[in-house]
Structure 1
Amino acid sequence: MTLPQNVAATADAKAASPKPIVLVPACNRMLGEHPFHIAGKKYIDAVRLAGGQPLIVPSAEEAELEALLGLADGVLLTGSPSNVHPSHFGEEVLDPSLPLDPLRDSWTLPLIRRVIDRGIPLFTICRGTQETNVALGGSLYQAVHAHEGHEDHRGADGAPAAEVYAPAHDVVVAEGGVLAKVVGQSRFEVNSVHGQAVNRLADGLRVEARAPDGVVEAFSVADSAGFSLCVQWHPEWLAADNPVSMKMLTAFGEACRRYREGRRGPHP
């Protein structure tokens, strides 16, 4: 029997890589008058620290998703300056000056649902975490700092990156969850570089950590057939020097290796 060309090419590409292949969806940005697909190097470095082979995906048509998922041993959803368009959770745009990325929305939201259905390991950061909540039916605060009882979680405007990504507050880890098992700590410091945050948590998601003001800082998919960990902070920033970040990346990488070997399950 002859395999379809795209399926055969996918199988050949996967067999050629000694490491688990991790899909990293790109953002979309205009540089001058030219559109570019962009993925931050720090996210690619994080995949490598996890022991994976990063594969940046610019975008995908509906018909291309299955071939991509056949190639994937894991998916990492990055942070971004852009926000998920609020129409995906039934709201109008609150601040038109903030960037959006409707092309990314158009294919990552269905991608997330398929990743979870197939049990492919999923690790998400900042915008990627917000995407995951929206993809599964949740909503977001478009400006979390504007809601009574919540702090301002944005980084210092115009400050050097080292200041923007410096530790900002603790997170309190939920007992018995994925994050608790991975990091082995009940509390630790994180950076904070987000204006939006989880409002209504989607059905089937489990809170893994909260900020002192109650904002959801991490969640997992409770009944997922595969590893899932979604965090609101930026563990990829100077990850090699951060023991908590390395524990999370190591757990994600191990889940990707297990998936590649055919050992499915919500590891750890």
Structure 2
Amino acid sequence: MNSSPCMVWLPADHRLMGDHGHQMPFLLLGDKYARAVKVGAECQPVMFPLADAGQIPELLPLVDGVMLTGSPSNVHPSHFDEDVADPSLPLDPVRDSLTLALIKACVHEGVPLLGICRGFQEINVALGGTLHQRVHEVPGRMDHRESKTAPFEVQYAPSHPIRLVPGSVFETWAGGPEVMVNSLHGQGISKLAPGLDALAHAPDGQVEAVAVQGARTFAYAVQFHPEWRCWENPFYTAIFQAFGKACRQRRSLRLQAADLARHTPA
């Protein structure tokens, strides 16, 4: 029983792919996210293809953590009462319908939760916050987007510093009050959700890291991309190590509960 792996659920992206006018639906998960869970958190990444919100009660008890990945797609702005500002940008309403409900379930059930980029934005929206659809057009804000034509090593290289709230876990993981991170996003938090605390900010004031208030376990999200070669960056490594530790603690409790249930008379 104790040899079973610690499992982390990574919801898939839903995307049409193909050429010559022929496209088919695909379920996608970026290698870098799965690899960060496998190597950085030392857990087994898992997917539940075609899972929907109605299946969360039966699927969530099977895993020890949830990680919401970044994606080319954006959260549909209807979830924060806005119209689509740029119709050319991709959306993924099927993912929205799962992840926004999954976030609330993780918080309620005490399941470790890590959000990255889109996942960070999903958590803010799910808990009642709003997003800037085009941060670079907000007065006083920087352009946080990457150069799409640059090599990936350049796109994911440290881009700007973030200031960490004194005494926060992020300051502990970074080993100081400020740390450099990458920047690959066009959207960002506008109104912070009532259930979140901002724990890091970019030089322009943009929120870069949050914590779920009153969470019983690991429940953090970041706007940057710590999954990128996380084993090469001590700050990114610390984030995934802490996430993995929380998932293993969840696994231990889950197995204890299962063992107790087996030995309890009906």
CA RMSD, Structure 1 to Structure 2 (Å): 1.3
- What is the rounded CA distance, in whole Å, between the counterparts of 1:157 and 1:230 in structure 2? 24
How far the C-alpha of 1:16 sits from its partner, in A, is: 7.7
How far the C-alpha of 1:24 sits from its partner, in A, is: 0.3
Q: Secondary structure at the match of 1:229?
A: strand
Q: Which of residues 196, 206, 211 in structure 2 aligns to 1:220?
A: 211
- What is the rounded CA distance, in whole Å, between the counterparts of 1:63 and 1:111 in structure 2? 10
Amino acid of the structure 2 residue aligned with 1:45: R
User: Is the contact between residue 15 and residue 28 of structure 2 (CA under 8 Å) also seen in structure 1?
Assistant: yes
How far the C-alpha of 1:56 sits from its partner, in A, is: 1.7
User: Is the contact between residue 53 and residue 97 of structure 2 (CA under 8 Å) also seen in structure 1?
Assistant: no
1:45 aligns with 2:23: no
User: Is the contact between residue 165 and residue 192 of structure 1 (CA under 8 Å) also seen in structure 2?
Assistant: yes
Structure 1 match to 2:259? none
Amino acid of the structure 2 residue aligned with 1:148: P
User: How has the CA–CA distance of structure 1 residues 244 and 213 changed in structure 2, closer, same or farther, with 3 Å as cutoff?
Assistant: same
Q: Which of residues 141, 144, 147 in structure 1 aligns to 2:138?
A: 147
Amino acid of the structure 2 residue aligned with 1:25: P
How far the C-alpha of 1:58 sits from its partner, in A, is: 2.8
- What is the rounded CA distance, in whole Å, between the counterparts of 1:183 and 1:222 in structure 2? 21
- What is the rounded CA distance, in whole Å, between the counterparts of 2:33 and 2:88 in structure 1? 26
Q: What pairs up with 1:90-169 in 2 under 5 angstroms?
A: 90-169=81-160
User: Is the contact between residue 19 and residue 257 of structure 1 (CA under 8 Å) also seen in structure 2?
Assistant: no
Structure 2 match to 1:249? 240
- What is the rounded CA distance, in whole Å, between the counterparts of 1:171 and 1:26 in structure 2? 29
1:26 aligns with 2:12: yes
Aligned length: 249
Q: Structure 2: which 5+ residue stretches go unaligned?
A: 255-266
Q: Percent identity?
A: 49
Structure 1 match to 2:264? none
TM-score by length of structure 2 reads 0.90
TM-score by length of structure 1 reads 0.90
User: Is the contact between residue 124 and residue 193 of structure 2 (CA under 8 Å) also seen in structure 1?
Assistant: yes
1:201-231 CA distance string (max 9 Å, x none): 0002011100011000000102112211100
Structure 1 match to 2:195? 204
Q: Secondary structure at the match of 2:10?
A: strand
- What is the rounded CA distance, in whole Å, between the counterparts of 1:91 and 1:135 in structure 2? 15
1:192 aligns with 2:166: no
1:132-169 CA distance string (max 9 Å, x none): 00000100000001010100000013222111111100
Structure 1 match to 2:163? 172
- What is the rounded CA distance, in whole Å, between the counterparts of 1:72 and 1:200 in structure 2? 31
User: Is the contact between residue 154 and residue 192 of structure 1 (CA under 8 Å) also seen in structure 2?
Assistant: yes
How far the C-alpha of 1:17 sits from its partner, in A, is: 5.7
1:35 aligns with 2:21: no
User: Is the contact between residue 117 and residue 225 of structure 1 (CA under 8 Å) also seen in structure 2?
Assistant: no
- What is the rounded CA distance, in whole Å, between the counterparts of 1:182 and 1:243 in structure 2? 8
